[in-house]
Amino acid sequence: MTLPVEWLPSPNFGERLTGPTDILVLHYTGMDSEGRALKWLRDPESSVSAHYFVFEDGRIARLVDEEKRAWHAGRSHWQGETDINSRSIGIEIANPGHEYGYRAFPDVQIGAVIALCRDIVQRNPIPPERILAHSDIAPLRKEDPGELFPWERLATAGIGIHVPPAPIVAGASLRIGDRGMEVADLKDRFRKVGYGLGPESEFDVLTEAVVRAFQRRYRTERVDGVADPSTMATLDRLLAVLPPKP
C-alpha cells in the first residue's frame, strides 16, 4: 500500500471461503454523519464492516486486511455467485445517502476513491466489469452509491466500465406486471451483464429493482424502474463493450 492510509481496525471479519478476490464493491455509508458510520463499521455489535473507508475530505482508512472477508455485501448476487464477501473488497464512501440528504461526492473524495481503486486492482485480479455498485449486487435492498456517484469519471481514470446513456425518447416500454417473450429477453440481457434475475417471463418486483439499479449507474437522468427505449438501448451499449463470457 503506497497511499497514505490510516489503520482503524474493525473486529468484523472472517476468513475468505471461495475463489480469488476478483470483485470490488463501492458503497456509500448512508448515515447522518461519517463519524457515526465509521463507529458502526467498527462496532462488534453491528456485524458489518468494509475493507476501506473514504472520508469526504479524501482521507482513507483501512478497517479490514484485504486477505480477510469483510462483511459489506450482505445478501447479494452477481454472475451466479452469492458469497460476494468471499470474493470481494469493499469500499465505504462517506455520504449521507438517500435517507439523510444525499448529495454530490466532493472532488477530493472521488480523487481518493480513484487512487484507492487503482491501488487495489494492481494487487488483485479484478477486471473492470467486476467493479460494482452495492445496488448492482443487491438491487432489492440497496441504492448505493447512487445516481450522483461519478462512474464516468472513474472509467475515464481506468476504473470500471461506463457507456454513454442513450437519449430518452418516447416509445414502447416494459414495466412491472408485464409478461411475455419481450420481458424474458430483457431479463436474459440483464443476466448477461451479471444481475441476478431468473428466466421467468414476468416483469416482477425484482426485475423493476434491477432496472432501477442499472439506471442509477448507467442512465441517471431518470431512475424509475421502467425499461423504456433509452434504458434498453443503454443496456445494449453495455453488452457490446463487455468481454465475452467463457
The residue whose grid cell reads 472521488 is 110
Fold of 181-241: Muramoyl-pentapeptide Carboxypeptidase; domain 1 (1.10.101)
d(C-alpha 206, C-alpha 121), whole Å: 31
Which residues are catalytically annotated?
92
Q: Which of 47, 62, 25, 5 is CA-nearest to residue 159?
A: 25
Domain ranges of the chain: 5-156, 181-241
Give the pLDDT score at 245.
72
d(C-alpha 27, C-alpha 46), whole Å: 17
Give the pLDDT score at 18.
84
- Per-residue model confidence as pLDDT tens digits over 15-74: 999 889 999 999 999 999 999 999 999 999 999 999 999 999 999 999 999 999 999 999
Q: Which of 105, 93, 102, 81 is CA-nearest to residue 25?
A: 93
**Global pTM?**
0.97
Question: In CATH, what number does 5-156 get?
Answer: 3.40.80.10
Answer whether residue 1 shows pLDDT above 60: no
The residue whose grid cell reads 463493450 is 241
- Per-residue model confidence as pLDDT tens digits over 105-144: 999 999 999 999 999 999 999 999 999 999 999 999 999 9
